[in-house]
C-alpha cells in the first residue's frame, strides 16, 4: 500500500502530504525526505525529534550546500554518481539543485556523461531505480509492473539497451538513459516525477565484454530476436495499455532495425514517441529553420546530404521531407532534395540490403559513391552527420562544400564528443567562419547544441497536458517551428536557444502542441479548459509540501 497521499486545497492550490511513515523511514524515502528542512512541527509530529541537527534550513540553503559538494568533485562520473545519490535520497532537493544550475548539471545527468554511467552500470551500481523486466520473467510481467512505486503514471521511458547513444549495446545498463530522460522531463518541462517510470526490457545483450564480465547485472544471454522478441514487446505494450491507459510511452535507444518498426507498429494505437527518431529530427529541423530565416531563404532551395542512414539520420530525412511538402513540393520532389550516405556509400536502388525505411531515399544513380564524391556531385548546402564516425567531415569535404555554399549549414550530430563528425573550431577555420553549425555533443564556444533536451520534454508535456490520443506529423511540425522561434535572430548567434531557456522552450513547444491536438480533435481534455490551464494543471515544481501524519495514524 502507498505510504503517503498528496492533497490539494481546491481554493488556494496549496498541497500537503499525509503519511503513515515515521522517523528514519521518512529520512530514507526520497520522495518525502526533507533532511534538515523538516520543520519543528513536522519533527514533533513525525517522530523526527533528535534525528536531525538543530538548525531548520530552507530548500535554498540546502541547495547552496549541495552545490558546494557537487563542485568539489573533479571527475564528471563522480559528479554524476553524486547527483544520482542525491536523487535517491531527496528528490525535491535534487530537482531544485539541477534546475538552479541547469547549464552545469544537465550534461552531467544526461549526455555526454550518462554514456559513461551506462557503461559503468554494473560496476558502479548502488541502488535500483525503475522497473527491470527480463525475458525469463515474461509470464510475471503484470506482477512486475504492479510492483512499481507510483500507481498513477503519466510517462514511461522504455529501452532494451541495444543502441545507447553512440556506444552500442549496453544491455541492462540502458536503464540509466531512461532515468536520465525522465529527469529531463521534470527538469525542463515540470513533469511530476512521482508520475514517471523508467523501464528496461532486458532481452539479453550481444556485447561480449558484458557477457564475460562477472559483475554484469543483466540477464546473461545473447539477445533474443525475431518472433520471440516481437511477442515480448507486444505483451509489454498491451499490458501497459490495459493496466495504465493514458500513459505516454517514450521509446529510447532501441536498435536501428527495431526502433522504426516498433514505432510504426504502435503509433496509431497509443500516444507514443521515439526520441532517437522524432526528438532528434525536431531539433535538427528547428536549427535548419533558424538558419533559413536568418539567410532569408527557403528549405526548398537547399540540397541536404545526411551521412549515417540509421535511426537519427533517416528520422531527420523524413522530417525534412515532411517540411518540404509543407512548402508545396510533391513527395518525389521533396525526397529528391535529400541524399543519404551510409557505410556502403550513397543509398542506391541496386543495394539489396537496404532496410525498409531507407528504401524511400535510394537513388537510381551514384552507386558506390562515398561522402566526398557525393559532396562533389551534389554540392550540398546542408550537411548532417549521424554516423558515430569521429572526424568523418574531413578538411577536404568541408572546404569543398564551402566552395559552393556561401553559408554552409553543418550539423555533426554524433555523440559522444569523440564520435562527432567534426569539431566546430575546425569547421569555422576551414570555412572562413562562414559555417552555421549545430553539434550533437557540447563543445567549447558559442555553438548551438542540437540537444534533444530542447524537444522531447516539450513534446511530452504537450501530449500529457492535452491527454492526446496520439502524436501526429502536424504536431511534430509545430514543435519544430516553436523551437526555432526560441533561437536568437542575429546572423551569427547559435542556431538554437541556450540551455538556460530549456524550460521556456518546453512550455512554448507544449503550448503549440496542445493547440494542434485540439485542432485535430485528438485532445481528450475538457474543451472548456484553456491551453494555459491544461498546462498549469500538470506542471510540478520542486518545493517542499507540508507533511502531516495520516489522521488514521500509522
Ligand atoms: P544508428 O546505429 O541507428 O545509425 C548509425 C548509422 O551510421 C547506421 O546506419 C550505420 O550503418 C551508419 N554508419 C556507421 N559507420 C558508417 C560509416 N563509416 N559511413 C557511413 N555510415 C556509417 O544510430 P543513430 O541512433 O542514428 O545515432 C547515430 C549517431 O547520432 C550517434 O552517435 C548518436 O549519439 C547521434 N545522435 C545525436 C542526437 C542529437 O544530436 N540530438 C540524437 C540522436 C542520435
Overall average pLDDT of the 386-399 stretch: 97
Domain for residue 460, yes or no?
A: yes
CA distance 47 to 171: 42
Given a contact cutoff of 8 angstroms between Cβ atoms, the answer to whether 218 and 210 are in contact is yes
Residue ending a domain, among 209, 235, 270, is 270
Please name the residue that has the C-alpha cell 528542512. Answer: 37
Using most ligand atoms within 8 A of CB, pick from 166, 388, 391, 451 the residue to mutate for ligand 1: 388
> Is the distance from the beta carbon of residue 387 to the nearest atom of ligand 1 less than 6 Å?
yes
Task: Could you list the beta-strand ranges (E) of 116-247.
Answer: 131-134, 155-159, 196-202
Could you tell me the CA-to-CA distances from 518 to 297, 465, 514, 530, 533 in Å, in that order? Answer: 31, 11, 6, 10, 14
- Does ligand 1 have an atom closer than 6 angstroms to the CB of 115? no
554, part of any domain: no
- Choosing from 180, 259, 263, 312 the residue with most ligand 1 atoms within 8 A of its CB, the one to mutate for a pocket test is 312
CA distance 48 to 26: 9
The domain that holds 27 is classified in CATH as: 1.20.1370.30
Q: Dump pLDDT digits (tens) for 100-116.
A: 999 999 999 998 899 98
Q: Is the pLDDT of residue 543 over 80?
A: yes
User: Last residue of some domain: 106, 130, 151?
Assistant: 106
Q: Which atom of ligand 1 is nearest to the CA of 419?
A: 32
Report the C-alpha gap between 346 and 366 in whole angstroms. Answer: 7
**CATH code of the domain containing 145:** 3.40.50.10380
Cβ of residue 415 lying under 6 Å from some atom of ligand 1: yes
Do 372 and 490 fall into the same domain?
no
**pLDDT exceeds 80 at position 309:** yes
Per 3-state DSSP, the chain is made up of helix, strand and coil in percentages (nearest 5) of: 50, 10, 40
Pocket test for ligand 1, best of 308, 342, 362 (most atoms within 8 A of CB): 308
Q: Identify whether residues 244 and 290 lie together within a single domain.
A: no
Q: Is residue 545 part of a domain?
A: no
Tell whether 296 is covered by a domain. Answer: yes
Q: Please report the atom of ligand 1 found closest to the CA of residue 315.
A: 26
Strand residues in 338-407 grouped as ranges (E): 338-342, 345-346, 382-385
What integer pLDDT is reported at residue 2 of this predicted model?
63
pLDDT at 177 over 60: yes
CA of 34 to the centre of ligand 1 (A): 42
Q: What is the pLDDT of residue 10?
A: 86
Q: Nine-digit cell at 421? A: 563528425
pLDDT of 1 over the 60 cut: no
pLDDT in the model for residue 257: 87
422-453 as b/e: b if 16+ CB within 10 A? bbbebbbebbeeebbbbbbbbbeeebbbbbbb
Q: Which residues are catalytic?
A: 110, 181
Residue 304, domain member (yes or no): yes
pLDDT value at position 380?
98
The answer to which of 11-15, 160-164, 237-241 has the lowest mean pLDDT is 11-15
Strand 436-439 to 409-412 pairing: parallel
Considering the domain architecture, whether residues 72 and 220 belong to the same structural domain is answered as: no
Nearest ligand 1 atom to the CA of 414 is: 32
Gap from CA of 515 to ligand 1 centroid (Å): 33
Q: Is 181 in the pocket of ligand 1 (CB under 6 A)?
A: no
The CA angle 520-521-527, to the nearest 5 degrees, is 125
Q: Is the CB of 452 under 6 A from ligand 1?
A: yes
- Statement to judge: residues 293 and 417 lie in one domain: yes
Q: Containing H/E element for 250?
A: strand 248-251
Q: Percent of the chain scored above 70 by pLDDT?
A: 100
Q: Name the average pLDDT for the chain.
A: 95
Position 26 scores a pLDDT of 95
C-beta 420 within 6 A of ligand 1: no
Measured from the Cβ of residue 495, the count of other Cβ atoms closer than 10 Å reads: 26
- 12 vs 209, higher pLDDT: 209
Whether 305 and 431 share a structural domain:
yes
**pLDDT (tens digit per residue) in 268-295:** 999 999 999 999 999 999 999 999 999 9
Say if 509 falls within a structural domain: yes
Collapsed DSSP state (helix, strand, coil) of residue 304: strand
250 lines ligand 1 (CB under 6 A): no
Q: Which domain holds residue 256?
A: 110-270
Let me know whether 226 and 253 are in one domain: yes
| CATH code at position 425 | 3.40.50.720
Q: Whose CA is nearest to atom 17 of ligand 1?
A: 343
Do 127 and 251 lie in a common domain?
yes
> CA 205 to CA 202: how far, in whole Å?
8
Answer yes or no: do 396 and 527 share one domain: no
Asked if 252 and 213 sit in the same domain, the reply is: yes
Helix segments in 153-272, DSSP class H: 175-189, 208-211, 226-243, 256-266
Question: Which one of 261, 310, 369, 373 would you pick to mutate in the ligand 1 pocket, going by the greatest count of ligand atoms within 8 A of its CB?
Answer: 310
Instruction: Decide if 543 is inside a domain.
Output: no
Strands 15-19 and 4-8: antiparallel
What does the alpha-carbon distance between residue 226 and residue 33 come to, in Å, rounded to a whole number? 45
| 140-171 pLDDT, tens digit each | 999 999 999 888 899 999 999 999 987 899 99
Rounded Cα gap, residues 177 and 154, in angstroms: 18
* Cβ of residue 494 lying under 6 Å from some atom of ligand 1: no
Q: Are residues 295 and 336 in the same domain?
A: yes
Distances (CA, A) of 155 to 191, 222, 241: 9, 29, 12
* Ligand 1 lined by 449 (C-beta under 6 Å): no
Domain membership of residue 541 (yes or no) is no
Residue by residue, DSSP assigns 431-461 as: TTT--EEEESS--SSS-EE--GGGTHHHHHH
Assess whether 357 and 397 both reside in one domain.
Answer: yes
pLDDT at 150: 84
The Cα–Cα gap between 147 and 170 comes to 25
Ligand 1 atom with least separation from CA of 284: 41
Lookup result for grid cell 490495459: 242
- Ligand 1 in reach of 346 Cβ (< 6 A): no
Distance CA 34, CA 519 (A): 43
Question: Per the structure, how many domains does the chain have?
Answer: 4
Ligand 1, residue 308: give the atom nearest the CA: 7
Q: What's the count of helices (H) and strands (E) in the chain, helices before strands?
A: 24, 15
CA pair distance 149, 130, nearest whole angstrom: 8
Instruction: Tell me how far the alpha carbon of residue 413 lies from the centroid of ligand 1, in angstroms.
Output: 8
Task: Decide which of 217, 238, 270 is a domain's last residue.
Answer: 270
Based on the fold, state whether residues 75 and 182 are members of the same structural domain: no
Predicted local distance difference test score (pLDDT) of residue 368: 82
283 ligand 1 Cβ < 6 A: yes
What the block records as the C-alpha cell of 66 is 549541495
pLDDT at residue 250 above 60?
yes
How far apart CA 319 and CA 342 sit, in angstroms, is 18
Give the torsion through C-alpha atoms of 40, 42, 45, 46, to 10 deg.
-120
Nearest-CA residue for atom 42 of ligand 1? 280
Give the DSSP letter of residue 278: I
pLDDT band at 476 (very low <50, low <70, confident <90, very high): very high
Give tens-digit pLDDT for 432-465.
Answer: 999 999 999 888 888 999 999 999 999 999 999 9
Distance (angstroms) between ligand 1 centre and the Cα of 341 equals 11
Amino acid at each position: 500500500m502507498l505510504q503517503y497521499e498528496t492533497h490539494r486545497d481546491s481554493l488556494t492550490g496549496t498541497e500537503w502530504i499525509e503519511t503513515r511513515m515515521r522517523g528514519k523511514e521518512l529520512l530514507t524515502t526520497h520522495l518525502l525526505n526533507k533532511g534538515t528542512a523538516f520543520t519543528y512541527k513536522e519533527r514533533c509530529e513525525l517522530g523526527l525529534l533528535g534525528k536531525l541537527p538543530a538548525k531548520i534550513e530552507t530548500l535554498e540553503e540546502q541547495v547552496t550546500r549541495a552545490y558546494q559538494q557537487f563542485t568539489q568533485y573533479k571527475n564528471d562520473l563522480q559528479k554524476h554518481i553524486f547527483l544520482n545519490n542525491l536523487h535517491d535520497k531527496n528528490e525535491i532537493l535534487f530537482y531544485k539543485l539541477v534546475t538552479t544550475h541547469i547549464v552545469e548539471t544537465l550534461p552531467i545527468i544526461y549526455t555526454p556523461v550518462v554514456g559513461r554511467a551506462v557503461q559503468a552500470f554494473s560496476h558502479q551500481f548502488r541502488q535500483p531505480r525503475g522497473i527491470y523486466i527480463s525475458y525469463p520473467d515474461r509470464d510475471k510481467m503484470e506482477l512486475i509492473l504492479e510492483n512499481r512505486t507510483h500507481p498513477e503514471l503519466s510517462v514511461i521511458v522504455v529501452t532494451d539497451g541495444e543502441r545507447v547513444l553512440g556506444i552500442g549495446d549496453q544491455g541492462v545498463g540502458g536503464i540509466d538513459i531512461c532515468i536520465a530522460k525522465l529527469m529531463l522531463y521534470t527538469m525542463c518541462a515540470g513533469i511530476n516525477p512521482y508520475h514517471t517510470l523508467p523501464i528496461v526490457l532486458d532481452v539479453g545483450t550481444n556485447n561480449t565484454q558484458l557477457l564475460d564480465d562477472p559483475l554484469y547485472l543483466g540477464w546473461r544471454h545473447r539477445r533474443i530476436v525475431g518472433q520471440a522478441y516481437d511477442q515480448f514487446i507486444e505483451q509489454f505494450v498491451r499490458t501497459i495499455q490495459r493496466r495504465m491507459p493514458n500513459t505516454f510511452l517514450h521509446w529510447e535507444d532501441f536498435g536501428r532495425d527495431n526502433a522504426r518498426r516498433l514505432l510504426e507498429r504502435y503509433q496509431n494505437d497509443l500516444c507514443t514517441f521515439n526520441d532517437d527518431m522524432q526528438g532528434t529530427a525536431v531539433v535538427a529541423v528547428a536549427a535548419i529553420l533558424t538558419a533559413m530565416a536568418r539567410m532569408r531563404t527557403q528549405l526548398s532551395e537547399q540540397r541536404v546530404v545526411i551521412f549515417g542512414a540509421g535511426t537519427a539520420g533517416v528520422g531527420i530525412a523524413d522530417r525534412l521531407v515532411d517540411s518540404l511538402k509543407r512548402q508545396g513540393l510533391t513527395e518525389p520532389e521533396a525526397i529528391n532534395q535529400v541524399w543519404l550516405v551510409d557505410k556502403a556509400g550513397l543509398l542506391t536502388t541496386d543495394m539489396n540490403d537496404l532496410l525498409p525505411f531507407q528504401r524511400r531515399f535510394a537513388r537510381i544513380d551514384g552507386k558506390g559513391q562515398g561522402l566526398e564524391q557525393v559532396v562533389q556531385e551534389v554540392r550540398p548546402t546542408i550537411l548532417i552527420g549521424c554516423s558515430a564516425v569521429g572526424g568523418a567531415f574531413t578538411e577536404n569535404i568541408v572546404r569543398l562544400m564551402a566552395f559552393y555554399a556561401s553559408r554552409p549549414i553543418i550539423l555533426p550530430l554524433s555523440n559522444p564528443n569523440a564520435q562527432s563528425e567534426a569539431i566546430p573550431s575546425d569547421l569555422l577555420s576551414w570555412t572562413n567562419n562562414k559555417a552555421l553549425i549545430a553539434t550533437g555533443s557540447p563543445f567549447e564556444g558559442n555553438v548551438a547544441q542540437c540537444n534533444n533536451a530542447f524537444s522531447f520534454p516539450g513534446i511530452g508535456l504537450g501530449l500529457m497536458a492535452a491527454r492526446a490520443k496520439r502524436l501526429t506529423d502536424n504536431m511534430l511540425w509545430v514543435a519544430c517551428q516553436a523551437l526555432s522561434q526560441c533561437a536568437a535572430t542575429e546572423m551569427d548567434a547559435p542556431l538554437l536557444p541556450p540551455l538556460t531557456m530549456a524550460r521556456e522552450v518546453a512550455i512554448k513547444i507544449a503550448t503549440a502542441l496542445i493547440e494542434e491536438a485540439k485542432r485535430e480533435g485528438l485532445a481528450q481534455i475538457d474543451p472548456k479548459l484553456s491551453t494555459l490551464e491544461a498546462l498549469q494543471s500538470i506542471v510540478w515544481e520542486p518545493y517542499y509540501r507540508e507533511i502531516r501524519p495520516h489522521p488514521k495514524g500509522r
